Chain A
């Protein structure tokens, strides 16, 4: 069996070398198709669409229009064609092969935008070229957004500047008001003080006048009274002097009595005790007291000043309050103006695409899809040619029978052929990836070696599918129609030609049973999503599983047909 497989592999290699058409099919044809598809359908993946002419009718001639036109001029893929007549633009779009889209910038657009309204550009589109139009509309939308964003940003800056200016003016004004206010306040205060002083002065003068007059009167009256008193006092003093003399004489008489008595007592001898006590003399007024009487009488001094209650200070002078100035901070009243938010335009909600995988580009190189996609397609077709068709060839040539006479097991011959073509398939894919990398700059993912995983899986499954097709085809001539139909269907449903999401749900469900689906999933994961090689393992298992089913069914049916 192994010998049969090995000899078959060798023979397949010889056959292949002799078959330049198949070699062409295997490598050159996919490169051609990939080139065409990659450049034609690149816009599906957000890549640059074809270079196209964009007729623009500028009826606005404003700043914004200039901005949009300038931005469009910087677009690599756009060639602007300035027109005057919207009708002509319409005609250009409706003509096939001219341009899928034309743009009118209506008059007043700039002014309207400046006035905060939402004017609209007019796009004439060719509905047949919807995909292109969508891509272009996306670009134009982006440009418009960029231009209006710029305008908005400028306006915002201006608003902020004038807001700031306004705030400063208000601040200055309110400072001025404040200082004016305090000036008025202090003036009022000063006036009040002056008023008070003046009132007080006047009152004081009045009081002084009154008190001076009063004092003079008092002094006069005091002097008169005093002269009166002096006169009366001098009369009484004269009397007092007489009394004083009398008293001094009485005192001397007292002492002469005392001496008399003492002599009497001494003369009375034993009968002294029987003498009755003399009457007592009242105690004489002391000399000092008597001296007091001698002192001149001093007139009581009258204070001519008015009593304290009469002083001006004691008066509380009530001056009525002047006009009331409102208290408080003018700046505080301007608070709402100070918040900068109050002076901003409302923002604009948009989106920016971010790759799910950090560091990857958002727009995909379309060839990242088409190189593996069409590679797989041609791998399948190659297997139809290389296995299904050559099995029929070998039947027709009679070589298959002859080999069977040689005693080689049919299974061995089939496996040998499959293995040889499997190797060819792997080499084909590897070469395609190399060409894709060199010509179209496809991404080979984190680890290019990992691409061999899905490659091996799909080569195996495709080879097994080739055997299935050989076993269900009735004749040589039905191999290619049947094989190509199956290959194309599998490639299409499996997402080789367009993203799987383009397909309706039921088709995606069907796709789960196609080895192509799993393989494309693995290639997308590895190349576009930059997943680690392990991401390819499960799809690989699924592909090989489906391939095993193909292989089993193909072998059983082919061998049973032969009996």
Chain B
């Protein structure tokens, strides 16, 4: 995990268009062993495209991929062992049992017969599907399918793992389990890219965050850096009864009314620091306002995300 270590996976200025739509625009990234990089971005930002290019499934229009500093020899078994992809959409044989699915991909990804048997058993236990190992995949619940999807990608314990929203639809228990496993893989030296829409997951396990929007890498760095890039400040949300005069907090340095303004009985105030809470509450004294409740909120990744990518829905833009 030491930054000095050479990147095991690198993307250098990759761009990719689907027809006239530019899906990736000059994106560069590097991944080192033992590191989990969170790949975040709104729908259609280009996360899956990035992962596909890294997994050599897609050829970038320009730019290069380096694995261990060398261009991947596409279609070599070495690559299969190096990479594990857990695709966003399921990639499983519906009629085959969980064990058969895992077994086939294990073998295809280069495991020998003996290793395959062992790894399959282990990975099914890890994702909690041992009991249902012989059931056909299409008899699984949505979450179980995703677990199996994950199992197939990680069964051969590759040094590079590309995970595209692996926890969508998975229950809390399994999600905890998965996150724990992923963290352990990384701790054991795997380099992992973890694409997700769940900011708290990223906050919990990622060492680094790559924020991508409209094909562009718009922010990159450790959590603190990205959160601060979002420029987020502590907020207080007030619920009250009565009339809150406009511009009442104008006199307080750094306090600003944001969002939800004009909504009856609600107000959100941004502050320079949480220490200004007292000042804000104090300022409401003597007014015809009854504060019923208030919430404090310190800036996090979601704030940064929203701040950096905006509020617009993606499909309205794209």
Q: Are A405 and B56 in contact (CB under 8 A)?
A: yes
Q: Are B93 and A4 in contact (CB under 8 A)?
A: no
Chain A residues near B305: list those with CB within 8 A.
none
Chain B residues near A7: list those with CB within 8 A.
104, 107-108
Q: Are A408 and B91 in contact (CB under 8 A)?
A: no
Q: Are A407 and B104 in contact (CB under 8 A)?
A: no
Binds B, one of A30-38, A208-216, A393-401, A454-462: A393-401
Q: Are B57 and A407 in contact (CB under 8 A)?
A: no
Which residue of the partner chain, among A15, A401, A408, contacts B93 with CB atoms under 8 Å?
A: A15
Whether a CB of chain B sits under 8 angstroms from the CB of A11 is: yes
Q: Are B80 and A399 in contact (CB under 8 A)?
A: no
Chain B residues near A11: list those with CB within 8 A.
93, 96, 100, 104
Q: Restricting to B42-76, which residues have a CB under 8 Å from any CB of A?
A: 55-57, 59, 75-76
Q: Are A397 and B76 in contact (CB under 8 A)?
A: no
- Residue among B57, B81, B108, B109 with max Cβ neighbours from chain A (10 Å): B108
Q: Are B79 and A407 in contact (CB under 8 A)?
A: yes
State the Cβ distance, A398 to closest chain B Cβ, in Å.
3
Q: Across the two chains, which residue of chain B brings its CB closest to A3?
A: B77
Chain B residues near A399: list those with CB within 8 A.
91-93
Whether a CB of chain B sits under 8 angstroms from the CB of A563 is: yes
Chain B residues near A14: list those with CB within 8 A.
96, 100, 104
Q: Are A406 and B92 in contact (CB under 8 A)?
A: no
Q: Restricting to B107-163, which residues have a CB under 8 Å from any CB of A?
A: 107-110, 136, 152-153
Q: Are B96 and A402 in contact (CB under 8 A)?
A: no
- Give Cα A19–Cα B92 distance, bound, in whole angstroms: 15
Chain B residues near A10: list those with CB within 8 A.
104
Which residue of the partner chain, among A4, A19, A398, contacts B90 with CB atoms under 8 Å?
A: A398
State the Cβ distance, A99 to closest chain B Cβ, in Å.
51
Per-position binary interface string of chain B over residues 198-235, scored 1 when its CB falls under 8 Å from any chain A CB and 0 otherwise: 00000000000000000000000000000000000000
Q: Are B110 and A405 in contact (CB under 8 A)?
A: no
Q: Are B57 and A404 in contact (CB under 8 A)?
A: yes
Known: A398-B87, A405-B56. A18 touches B95 (CB 8 A): yes
Whether a CB of chain B sits under 8 angstroms from the CB of A403 is: yes
- Give Cα A405–Cα B65 distance, bound, in whole angstroms: 14
State the Cβ distance, B140 to closest chain A Cβ, in Å.
14
Whether a CB of chain B sits under 8 angstroms from the CB of A46 is: no
- Give Cα A430–Cα B59 distance, bound, in whole angstroms: 45
Whether a CB of chain B sits under 8 angstroms from the CB of A409 is: yes
Q: Are B93 and A402 in contact (CB under 8 A)?
A: no
Chain A residues near B152: list those with CB within 8 A.
402
Q: Are A408 and B87 in contact (CB under 8 A)?
A: no
Q: Are A401 and B92 in contact (CB under 8 A)?
A: no
Q: Across the two chains, which residue of chain A brings its CB closest to B156?
A: A406
Whether a CB of chain A sits under 8 angstroms from the CB of B178 is: no
Known: A405-B80, A406-B80. A19 touches B95 (CB 8 A): yes
- Give Cα A406–Cα B152 distance, bound, in whole angstroms: 11
- Give Cα A273–Cα B172 distance, bound, in whole angstroms: 232
- Give Cα A11–Cα B76 distance, bound, in whole angstroms: 20
State the Cβ distance, B127 to closest chain A Cβ, in Å.
16
- Give Cα A3–Cα B75 distance, bound, in whole angstroms: 13
Chain B residues near A408: list those with CB within 8 A.
75, 77, 80, 108
Whether a CB of chain A sits under 8 angstroms from the CB of B85 is: yes
- Give Cα A398–Cα B92 distance, bound, in whole angstroms: 7
Q: Are B91 and A397 in contact (CB under 8 A)?
A: yes
Chain B residues near A401: list those with CB within 8 A.
57, 87, 91
Chain B residues near A397: list those with CB within 8 A.
90-94
Whether a CB of chain A sits under 8 angstroms from the CB of B308 is: no
Whether a CB of chain A sits under 8 angstroms from the CB of B105 is: yes
Whether a CB of chain A sits under 8 angstroms from the CB of B243 is: no
Q: Across the two chains, which residue of chain B brings its CB closest to A403?
A: B108
State the Cβ distance, A560 to closest chain B Cβ, in Å.
12
Chain A residues near B310: list those with CB within 8 A.
none
Known: A398-B91, A402-B85. A407 touches B96 (CB 8 A): no
- Give Cα A487–Cα B80 distance, bound, in whole angstroms: 37
Chain A residues near B242: list those with CB within 8 A.
none
Q: Are B59 and A405 in contact (CB under 8 A)?
A: no
- Give Cα A110–Cα B165 distance, bound, in whole angstroms: 95
Q: Restricting to A1-21, which residues have a CB under 8 Å from any CB of B?
A: 3-4, 7, 10-11, 14-15, 18-19
- Give Cα A381–Cα B249 distance, bound, in whole angstroms: 77
Whether a CB of chain A sits under 8 angstroms from the CB of B89 is: yes
- Give Cα A105–Cα B82 distance, bound, in whole angstroms: 90
- Residue among A7, A398, A404, A406 with max Cβ neighbours from chain B (10 Å): A406
Whether a CB of chain A sits under 8 angstroms from the CB of B271 is: no
Whether a CB of chain A sits under 8 angstroms from the CB of B40 is: no
- Give Cα A15–Cα B55 distance, bound, in whole angstroms: 26
Q: Are A15 and B96 in contact (CB under 8 A)?
A: yes
Q: Are B91 and A406 in contact (CB under 8 A)?
A: no
State the Cβ distance, A11 to closest chain B Cβ, in Å.
5
- Give Cα A240–Cα B138 distance, bound, in whole angstroms: 194
- Give Cα A14–Cα B136 distance, bound, in whole angstroms: 12
Chain B residues near A409: list those with CB within 8 A.
75
Q: Are A407 and B110 in contact (CB under 8 A)?
A: yes
- Give Cα A268–Cα B94 distance, bound, in whole angstroms: 214
Chain A residues near B56: list those with CB within 8 A.
405
State the Cβ distance, B112 to closest chain A Cβ, in Å.
11
Which residue of the partner chain, among A3, A4, A19, A405, contacts B55 with CB atoms under 8 Å?
A: A405
- Residue among B80, B83, B136 with max Cβ neighbours from chain A (10 Å): B80
- Residue among B76, B81, B96, B153 with max Cβ neighbours from chain A (10 Å): B96
State the Cβ distance, B101 to closest chain A Cβ, in Å.
9
Chain B residues near A406: list those with CB within 8 A.
77, 80, 105, 108-110
- Give Cα A563–Cα B57 distance, bound, in whole angstroms: 9
Q: Across the two chains, which residue of chain B brings its CB closest to A562?
A: B57
Query: In the complex, given contacts A14-B104, A397-B90, A407-B78, what are 20 additional A-B residue pairs having Cβ atoms less than 8 angstroms apart?
Result: A3-B77, A4-B108, A7-B104, A10-B104, A11-B96, A397-B91, A398-B87, A398-B92, A399-B93, A401-B57, A402-B87, A402-B105, A404-B57, A405-B55, A406-B77, A406-B109, A407-B79, A407-B109, A407-B110, A409-B75
A-B contact pairs, 29 of them (CB 8 A): A4-B108, A7-B104, A7-B108, A11-B100, A14-B96, A14-B100, A18-B95, A19-B95, A397-B90, A397-B92, A397-B93, A398-B91, A399-B91, A401-B87, A402-B87, A402-B153, A403-B105, A403-B108, A404-B75, A405-B55, A405-B57, A405-B83, A405-B85, A406-B110, A407-B77, A407-B79, A407-B81, A407-B110, A408-B75
Contact surface of A with B, Cβ cutoff 8 Å: 3-4, 7, 10-11, 14-15, 18-19, 397-399, 401-410, 563
Contact surface of B with A, Cβ cutoff 8 Å: 55-57, 59, 75-81, 83, 85, 87, 89-96, 100, 104-105, 107-110, 136, 152-153
Nearest 5 pairs of A and B residues by beta carbon: A398-B91, A407-B80, A18-B95, A402-B91, A406-B80
